[in-house]
DNA sequence: TAATGATATGCAAACGTTATCATATTTTAC
DNA sequence: GTAAAATATGATAACGTTTGCATATCATTA
């Protein structure tokens, strides 16, 4: 169907090797021949077959991305960042949305290995890392983002400083005068949930505020658990004046619980959320939130990947930690005098 | 590095063909041999090399997706739908985010052709269809979504009934008693923008409301143009009581313009938006909106793709039109008596 | 028992490249 | 003017599969 090197070679009565040299802009072709071949390539609209190249070169110039849910802003921005730098370097990405299912994750990983991806960028949900270890042993470069697996051996990763994220969130609340600050964090067997609790505690301790276990709740990053835990916090802590919620969906749930109780934000409860992008800019009050630099996470992961793919031999694994930001909007009352 | 058919064959002193037959579950292998081979495949952890298979079979089991912006909910949900059905059928997707640049779109398309994708699902922004025509000529199955190109030849597509979308939006406003209804539609050289204006007009005409050109504005689907056009509408039409905005970003812009003028939604201006997902559920007032069945668009496109890829010979192109829905929330006042 | 057909297995070519090697031609240098 | 070096070109093998063909074995049937 499509034109191959052989076709061109035949038309011009030259060898396939010569045509290949021209296509790849290599030495040892006379100017006349090069000219002639170039014209023919143009005329017959030759397109190199990357599949054949990949087979020969043992490299597909393809990176697999496995994430739990592409409809979450957090992940779609990361993908945009990855795509941007990878494409500029001649790579393309195979995208896999596991829908938060460990089973599908495994299916996808096998598929990607069969497709001979050169590298893998993973936001894994699975707790079973047998397959992943196997993949790494195969020599496929793996980079973890968002959440870190518990592996003995070292590995590459790009994350934010999760402890610092909650630290600056809680510090902000403390600076505004709050003392009874609740938290809804995430699962403690995931680094994200765990680290975010650490930062909360550290902020309190460093400000000589006693840690009150009643103010600590653990959710599962989903909206429902934000809602439930907020109700719990409100019931158990009558004097709580502020809360930090460690994921966007839980933030939405928590706000609904607060409103349902007839409480006002920020007057009755000040709130700092997590990953609240609000592209519409229409949420009222606008939510003060921790923001991760998603596109930069994606870019950093992609750049690290490129580096790994160009190296040969020993690789010294790297953990790239980016800074979270506190985006001050209206849900803490910090802006009330500025308006 | 990884184990090949040849490796296995050598270990067992059988031919490569035999091993291949076992791997592909084909006839003409004795039970004993099959058993033996199966065990070896397991033992040496054989993984088929899809690159080699693709070269031989002239099919990569890969579909390229080209979209303008993955961070828009509209597209991320479509991708989820596509991914879901394609993966179940052994295909994977190469994702390309053009960032709304026609130039990058061209770059990506060429890349995808070189990678020998079996099919292409496109939400194109480019107006130059030379390349795309070329791709179709090559025998690659192409399916358009969202926005239709102006091509002489027939082609496959999955869209919603855009005229109907605005028709039901405007009809809703008319039923609520509005007569002076403005519209902010999209670019008239894109089918989406054009059709959405058609539906608006039809709704008015069928309800014996005269069309007033002052009530019609044309934006570019971006937030800024929603804002600007809303201001324009408000200035030129003192008696306008309702507006239909034909994209999510323009809806956000329009609402800001309305609020800035000190007008209330829905009391002073009733509004129907487009594609307003509001995953937080925290926008107040919540926006009555046209919703496209994104995941179904994705699924339909993927299923049509599978059909095309399994056919040989003549393909009778198909235009699949899905139904938009009106999601009634609070921005039109329709719910005021129900509460 | 001989003939027939089904089953089992291997060989070799092919998919479209790239890369190594050999050979032929040209250029450079003294 | 010749040796050495650089350039130009092609033949061939290889990457890991699948598949058509040839051959060999086995079971079936008249």
Burial class (CB in 10 A: 0-12, 13-18, 19+), B50: buried
- Say yes or no: B186 and B233 in one domain: yes
User: What is residue A255's predicted lDDT score, i.e. its pLDDT?
Assistant: 98
**How are beta strands A92-97 and B92-97 bridged, if at all?**
antiparallel
Q: B46 with B8: CB under 8 angstroms?
A: yes
What is the nearest CA distance from B206 to chain A, expressed in angstroms? 33
Query: What does each C-alpha distance from A43 to A11, A38, B323 come to in angstroms?
Result: 11, 9, 45
Q: B149 with B120: CB under 8 angstroms?
A: no
Q: How large is the average pLDDT for residues B160-181? A: 97
* B334 — pLDDT class (breaks 50, 70, 90): confident
Average pLDDT over chain B, rounded to an integer: 95
Task: Indicate yes or no: CB of B93 within 8 angstroms of CB of A92.
Answer: no
What is the nearest CA distance from B107 to chain A, expressed in angstroms? 9
- Say yes or no: B218 and B203 in one domain: yes
Task: Indicate yes or no: CB of B111 within 8 angstroms of CB of A92.
Answer: yes
User: What is residue B200's predicted lDDT score, i.e. its pLDDT?
Assistant: 98
Q: Cα(A193)–Cα(A189) distance, rounded to whole angstroms? A: 7
- Say yes or no: B23 and B88 in one domain: no
In a domain, A67, yes or no: yes
Beta carbons within 8 Å of B228's beta carbon, 6+ residues apart: B219, B253, B257
Provide the 3-class DSSP secondary structure of residue A119. Answer: strand
- A107 Cα distance to chain centroid: 20
- Say yes or no: B263 and B171 in one domain: yes
Look up tokens 């403690």; give the residue: A188
Please give chain A's pLDDT, 339 residues, in tens. Answer: 689 999 999 999 999 999 999 999 999 999 999 999 999 999 999 999 999 999 999 999 999 999 999 999 999 999 999 999 999 999 999 999 999 999 999 999 999 999 999 999 999 988 888 999 999 999 999 999 999 999 999 999 999 999 999 999 999 999 999 999 999 999 999 999 999 999 999 999 999 999 999 999 999 999 999 999 999 999 999 999 999 999 999 999 999 999 999 999 999 999 999 999 999 999 999 999 999 999 999 999 999 999 999 987 667 899 999 999 999 999 998 775 443
Query: What does each C-alpha distance from B306 to A168, B58, B79, B92, B209 come to in angstroms?
Result: 50, 16, 15, 12, 46
**How are beta strands B242-245 and B181-185 bridged, if at all?**
parallel
Provide the 3-class DSSP secondary structure of residue A186. Answer: coil
User: What is residue A313's predicted lDDT score, i.e. its pLDDT?
Assistant: 65
In a domain, B86, yes or no: yes
Whole-number distance in Å between A17 CA and C21 C1': 13
In a domain, B209, yes or no: yes
Whole-number distance in Å between A17 CA and C19 C1': 9
Whole-number distance in Å between A25 CA and D9 C1': 16
User: What is residue B169's predicted lDDT score, i.e. its pLDDT?
Assistant: 98
* Residue of B57, B71, B86, B247 best to disrupt the A interface, most CBs of A under 10 A: B71
Count how many domains chain A has.
Answer: 3
Whole-number distance in Å between A28 CA and D6 C1': 10
Residues of chain B contacting A138 with CB distance shorter than 8 Å: 1-2
Burial class (CB in 10 A: 0-12, 13-18, 19+), B203: buried
Instruction: Concatenate the DSSP letters of all residues of B226-285 into one string.
Output: HHHHHHHHHHH-TT--EEEESSHHHHHHHHHHHHHTT--TTTT-EEEEES---TT--BSS
Q: B108 with B96: CB under 8 angstroms?
A: yes
Q: B280 with A278: CB under 8 angstroms?
A: yes
Tokens of B139: 């025998």
- Say yes or no: A170 and A139 in one domain: no
Nearest chain A residue to B249 by CA distance is: A280
How many Cβ atoms are within 10 Å of B329's Cβ, its own excluded? 18
Q: How large is the average pLDDT for residues B187-204? A: 97
Strand order in the sheet with B181-185: B216-218, B181-185, B242-245, B270-274, B289-291, B325-327
Q: How large is the average pLDDT for residues B229-242? A: 97
- Say yes or no: A282 and A185 in one domain: yes
User: What is residue A339's predicted lDDT score, i.e. its pLDDT?
Assistant: 34
- B90 — alpha (psi -120 to 50), left (phi > 0) or beta? left
Q: A328 with A172: CB under 8 angstroms?
A: yes
Strand order in the sheet with A216-218: A216-218, A181-185, A242-245, A270-274, A288-291, A325-327
In a domain, A329, yes or no: no
Helices (H), B101-215: 102-114, 130-137, 162-175, 191-206
Chain C, protein-covered positions (CB within 7 A): 7-20
Q: A230 with A253: CB under 8 angstroms?
A: yes
**Which CATH number characterizes residue B15's domain?**
1.10.260.40
How many Cβ atoms are within 10 Å of B62's Cβ, its own excluded? 23
Chain D, protein-covered positions (CB within 7 A): 7-12, 14-20
How many Cβ atoms are within 10 Å of A213's Cβ, its own excluded? 7
- Say yes or no: B298 and B283 in one domain: no
Q: Which residues pair with B62 in a beta bridge?
A: B92
Higher pLDDT, B315 or B57: B57
Beta carbons within 8 Å of A314's beta carbon, 6+ residues apart: none
Q: How large is the average pLDDT for residues B32-42? A: 95
In a domain, B15, yes or no: yes
Tokens of A210: 């006693």
Backbone angles phi, psi at B279, to 5 degrees: -60, -25
Torsion of CA B187, B192, B194, B199, to 10 degrees: -140
- Say yes or no: A203 and A278 in one domain: yes
Q: Which residues pair with A218 in a beta bridge?
A: A185
Picking from B48, B50, B95, the nearest residue to A93 by CB comes out as B95
Q: Cα(A326)–Cα(B3) distance, rounded to whole angstroms? A: 50
Instruction: Concatenate the DSSP letters of all residues of A160-175 into one string.
Output: E-HHHHHHHHHHHHHH
**Which CATH number characterizes residue A299's domain?**
3.40.50.2300
List the domain range (segments joined by +) for residue A250.
162-292
Q: Cα(A212)–Cα(A297) distance, rounded to whole angstroms? A: 34
How many Cβ atoms are within 10 Å of A81's Cβ, its own excluded? 22
- Say yes or no: B196 and B133 in one domain: no
- Say yes or no: B137 and B243 in one domain: no
- Say yes or no: A240 and A281 in one domain: yes
Provide the 3-class DSSP secondary structure of residue B156. Answer: strand
Q: B324 with B290: CB under 8 angstroms?
A: yes
Residues of chain A contacting B83 with CB distance shorter than 8 Å: 70, 95-97
- Say yes or no: A318 and A259 in one domain: no
Tokens of B207: 């309800």
Q: A307 with A119: CB under 8 angstroms?
A: no
User: What is residue A240's predicted lDDT score, i.e. its pLDDT?
Assistant: 97
In chain B, how long is the greatest CA-to-CA distance? 89
User: What is residue B313's predicted lDDT score, i.e. its pLDDT?
Assistant: 65
Q: Cα(B65)–Cα(B121) distance, rounded to whole angstroms? A: 5
Nearest residue, CA→C1' of C15 = B56
Backbone angles phi, psi at B147, to 5 degrees: -125, 135
Taking each helix axis from N to C end, the angle separating B73-88 and A102-114, rounded to the nearest 10 degrees, works out to 70
């Amino acid at each position: 169907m499509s034109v191959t090197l052989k076709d061109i070679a035949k038309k011009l009565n030259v060898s396939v090797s010569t045509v290949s040299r021209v296509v790849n802009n290599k030495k040892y072709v006379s100017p006349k021949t090069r000219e002639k071949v170039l014209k023919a390539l143009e005329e017959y609209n030759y397109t190199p077959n990357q599949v054949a190249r990949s087979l020969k070169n043992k490299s597909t110039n393809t990176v697999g991305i496995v994430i739990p849910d592409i409809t979450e802003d957090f992940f779609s921005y990361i993908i945009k960042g990855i795509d941007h730098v990878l494409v500029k370097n001649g790579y393309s990405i195979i995208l896999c949305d596991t829908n938060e299912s460990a089973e599908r994750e495994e299916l996808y990983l096998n598929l990607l290995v069969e497709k001979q991806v050169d590298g893998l960028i993973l936001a894994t949900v699975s707790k079973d890392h047998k397959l992943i270890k196997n993949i790494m042993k195969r020599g496929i470069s793996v980079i973890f983002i968002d959440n870190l697996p518990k592996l003995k051996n070292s590995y590459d990763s790009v994350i934010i400083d999760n402890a610092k994220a909650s630290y600056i969130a809680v510090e902000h609340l403390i600076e505004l005068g709050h003392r009874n600050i609740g938290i809804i964090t995430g699962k403690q067997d995931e680094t994200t949930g765990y680290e975010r609790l650490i930062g909360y505690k550290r902020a309190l301790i460093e400000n000589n505020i006693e840690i009150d276990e009643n103010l600590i709740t653990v959710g599962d990053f989903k909206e429902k658990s934000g809602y439930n835990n907020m109700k719990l916090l409100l019931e158990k802590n009558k004097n709580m004046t502020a809360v930090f919620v460690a994921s966007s969906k839980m933030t939405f749930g928590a706000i609904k619980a607060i409103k349902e109780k007839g409480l006002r934000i920020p007057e009755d409860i000040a709130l700092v959320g997590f990953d609240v992008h609000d592209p519409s800019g229409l949420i009222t009050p606008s939510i003060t939130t921790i923001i991760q630099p998603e596109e930069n996470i994606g870019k950093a992961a992609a750049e690290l990947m490129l580096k790994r793919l160009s190296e040969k031999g020993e690789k010294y694994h790297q953990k790239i930690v980016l800074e979270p930001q506190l985006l001050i909007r209206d849900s803490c009352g910090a802006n009330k005098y500025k308006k």
